[in-house]
Amino acid sequence: GAGVSQSPSNKVTEKGKDVELRCDPISGHTALYWYRQSLGQGLEFLIYFQGNSAPDKSGLPSDRFSAERTGGSVSTLTIQRTQQEDSAVYLCASSLGVPGVGTNEKLFFGSGTQLSVL
Amino acid sequence: GQNIDQPTEMTATEGAIVQINCTYQTSGFNGLFWYQQHAGEAPTFLSYNVLDGLEEKGRFSSFLSRSKGYSYLLLKELQMKDSASYLCAGPPPGSYIPTFGRGTSLIVHP
């Protein structure tokens, strides 16, 4: 597609329910990132996928969070047993190649999913 | 992670020049990015610096001093549409995944 696509754009759920957020990166981009942004806060890194390598899950805040990337393309972020503190905008980004020293691997962001946990 | 610090909010007048500063942890430096984020929208790439000096792109310029762990984004001839959050980002030591600062909210008034 023309850009990074995320769905749904808005999700309201009840505390304790599971949610799935979807990200469709730019075609041909090998790297995919998930961040979340709480009101007035910076972007918090969650997880990074690069090609067929094992993902970097170092940013996931708890074991209720998981993500997968099927076929090196679409990614799904799953939050189990949602809590009110999970409310945030979840942003997905992709980049053409592998980030590295001296390389301008700029990130292209989707419009995000606004998650509200009641 | 990377310790990125930038002011929370700045205001400026239309037509003026504004400089948004960013400081970061220097060890293991892997390049510094600036992104622009309008309210309710996705961040978009503005600039990338890995070498010292000023990089100019139209009305926007970005400066880097690696020895001082310091960068700034310079916006000239400010327009109302420049009102947005400006995010400084850089990978922490040992990683290439960008860590973002909290962003500087720039308000441009007539």
pLDDT by residue (tens digit) across B48-107?
998 899 999 999 999 999 888 899 999 999 999 999 999 999 887 777 788 898 999 999
In order of A5, A9, B29, B85, the CA distances from B105 in angstroms are 26, 23, 25, 4
CA distance A35 to A56: 12
Residue B44 confidence (pLDDT): 95
Whether A103 and B31 lie within 8 Å, measured CB to CB: yes
Q: Which two tokens stand for residue B25?
A: 């942890």
Residue A115 confidence (pLDDT): 97
Q: DSSP assignment of A13-59, as one string?
A: E-TT--EEEEEE--TT--EEEEEEE-TT--EEEEEEEETTSPPB-TT
Residues 6+ apart with CB under 8 A from B39: B84, B85
Residue B30 confidence (pLDDT): 72
Q: What value does the mean pLDDT of chain A take?
A: 91
Q: Which residue has 């990089």 as its token pair?
A: B55
Neighbours of A77 (CB within 10 A): 23
Would you say residue B1 has pLDDT above 60? no
Contacts of B4 in chain A (CB under 8 A): 42
Q: Which two tokens stand for residue A90?
A: 């979840």
Q: Do B104 and B12 touch, CB atoms closer than 8 A? A: no
Percent of chain A with pLDDT over 90: 75
Gyration radius of chain B's alpha carbons: 13
DSSP H helix total and E strand total for chain A = 0, 10
Q: CB-CB: which of A106, A108, A110 is closest to B33? A: A106
In order of A11, A22, A66, A104, B13, the CA distances from A118 in angstroms are 11, 21, 21, 40, 40
Would you say residue A100 has pLDDT above 70? no
Whether A110 and B44 lie within 8 Å, measured CB to CB: no
User: Is A96 an interface residue toward B (CB < 8 Å)?
Assistant: no
Region A30-44: mean pLDDT is 90
Residue A93: HSE in the Cβ half-sphere, 13 Å Cα cutoff: 28
Would you say residue A1 has pLDDT above 70? no
In order of A24, A39, B97, B98, the CA distances from B29 in angstroms are 30, 28, 12, 11
Higher per-residue pLDDT: A103 or B85 = B85
Region A82-108: mean pLDDT is 85
CA distance B58 to A87: 38
Identity of the residue numbered B100: F
Q: CB-CB: which of A91, A98, A104 is closest to B42? A: A91
Higher per-residue pLDDT: B33 or B3 = B33
pLDDT band of residue A53 (cuts 50, 70, 90) is: confident
Region A67-96: mean pLDDT is 94
Which helix or strand (DSSP H or E) is residue B35 part of?
A: strand B32-37
Residue B91 confidence (pLDDT): 81
